[in-house]
Chains A and B, each alone.
Chain A
Amino acid sequence: MRNIIHLQDVRKAYGRKVILDRVSLDVPEGMVIGLLGKNGAGKTTLLKCLLGLFKVDAGKSLVFGDDSWHLSAGVKASIGYVPQGYRPYPWLQAGWLIEYTASFYPQWNSALTAKLVKDWGLDLGARVDTFSEGELQKLLIILALGHEPKLLVFDEPVASLDPVARREFLKMILDVVSERPCTILFSTHITSDLERVADTVAVLRAGRLDLCGGIDVLKESVKRIRFHCPAGVLPVLGDEGVINSYVSGQQAILTVRDYSDARRVSLEKISGARVEVEDLNLEEIFLEMNR
């Protein structure tokens, strides 16, 4: 499978403040990948570097094989992007904004945009500046989908949506991926949305890509292990693959990134303790990584 996005050792700094530090990421065709990170972790900067809206200081950033800073018209026509906090043409009626946007593209799926307008109950006669945050977000998503892009990039798409609209957004993503080959990259800090629709998650922490992998694999390999050792003091357990550890008397809690049943057995052997393994969901894994 070819890579739609290829980042290699990307670096971006503002003055002395390093925003992205040697970020490498490959996104193959058809992947739905969620970019997870705290506020200020560098998510938006990463997306903007990728789309050629910011210039990287060092490293390589390719989209559909084109250098991000010199994207061809053809590649641009294959990308749909919904930025954060963008309010276009406040005086324009929503319907006109859709028409206007459509006129820039050689191909535009009016049936699709009409369906989404109807599904999401948008008033095409209303001026853009009368739209609520949520309505605006829906409108921007529709504008990004009209030309049926092969790559969709959303920056915090659900942050301003209520739970019902968030579900609708997720449904829309699932519709898109089940109907045609499409690669989707979105940033978020709402982990429960990722768990439903994304197959892969990349965790950005202080400008570095901390972790990237399949959500299933992540849930199966990152585990919290509890030791109960009534007989005495726990031996040193080593810190290989340990994300966090907490030891207190005869109890210990380890969070490991490479759990396996074999590891459990060997831990039981060397510690002589009773071992319990706890499953972690994405939010808990994210919190453990950020401790």
Chain B
Amino acid sequence: MDNNARLYFQISPASGVPIYRQIYDQVKIGIAMGKFVAGEFLPSIRDVSKSLEVNPMTVSKAYSSLEKSGIIEFVRGQGMRIPVKAEGAAPVDVHQERLTLLIKEVINSAQQLSLDEESVVQKLRAIWEDVHHA
């Protein structure tokens, strides 16, 4: 049971993105991608803290911001749940957000390799073509 939360979240503590924000984003995106289904309960704060080895306050902060944004709901005595009416969460928006995150990652890596915008875009086009014609 202890490692349960590892299946839900992938955390990199050494990232510039705060850990609570990583959990927040992953729940939001997870709902859009169908990884979390309506009515499903999220693992408890204690389980997440234990299995991801992060401070329980951090997990609690992520969950309460998710609750405040109406992305999850608190059910007394049972924990945090994906609302049954989660379908209305504008999946297109969230897909866009997911794409933005992925592209940001690419940009970061490109900058580390001192690649400029043009060569990244060219590479993207080339790979896109490849995938299409394969």
Contacts and interface: CB of A to CB of B under 8 A. Distances in A.
Interface stretch (A65-73, A76-84, A262-270, A278-286): A278-286
Interface string A161-205: 000000100110010011000000000000110011111000000
A32 B55 CA distance: 9
Contact of B56 (A178, A198, A220, A279): A178
Contacts of B58: 199, 216
A192 B58 CA distance: 15
Contact of A195 (B14, B21, B50, B57): B14
Contacts of B107: 276
Given A195-B14, A279-B15, A216 B20 contact: yes
A216 B49 contact: no
Interface string B12-26: 011111111100000
- B13, B17, B46, B61, most chain A CB atoms within 10 A: B13
Contacts of A199: 55, 57-58
A283 B49 contact: no
B54 interface: yes
Contacts of B18: 215-216, 219-220
B53 interface: yes
Interface in A238-291: 276, 278-284
A174 B50 contact: yes
B109 interface: no
A279 B54 contact: no
B121 to A, nearest CB: 15
Contact of B108 (A170, A195, A278): A278
Contacts of A198: 55
Nearest to B17: A279
Contact of A281 (B15, B56, B61): B15
A40 to B, nearest CB: 25
A197 B14 CA distance: 12
Contacts of B108: 278
Interface in B1-52: 13-21, 46, 49-50
B14 A192 contact: yes
B49 A174 contact: yes
A192 B54 CA distance: 11
Contacts of A276: 107
A218 B11 CA distance: 18
Given A174-B49, A196-B55, A197-B54, A283 B14 contact: yes
Nearest to A171: B53
Given A178-B56, A196-B55, A199-B55, A284 B16 contact: yes
B14 A174 contact: no
Interface in B39-86: 46, 49-50, 53-58, 61
A143 to B, nearest CB: 24
A177 B49 CA distance: 11
B53 A174 contact: yes
B75 to A, nearest CB: 21
A236 B12 CA distance: 36
17 contacts: A170-B53, A171-B53, A177-B55, A178-B49, A195-B13, A196-B19, A196-B53, A196-B55, A197-B53, A199-B55, A199-B57, A216-B20, A216-B21, A276-B107, A280-B16, A281-B16, A282-B14
Interface of B: 13-21, 46, 49-50, 53-58, 61, 107-108
The 10 A-B pairs of least Cβ separation, nearest first, read A279-B16, A216-B18, A195-B13, A219-B18, A196-B13, A281-B16, A280-B16, A192-B14, A281-B14, A178-B56
Given A177-B56, A197-B55, 20 more contacts: A32-B57, A174-B50, A174-B53, A174-B55, A177-B55, A178-B56, A196-B19, A196-B53, A196-B54, A199-B58, A215-B18, A216-B19, A216-B20, A216-B21, A219-B16, A219-B17, A219-B18, A220-B18, A281-B14, A284-B16
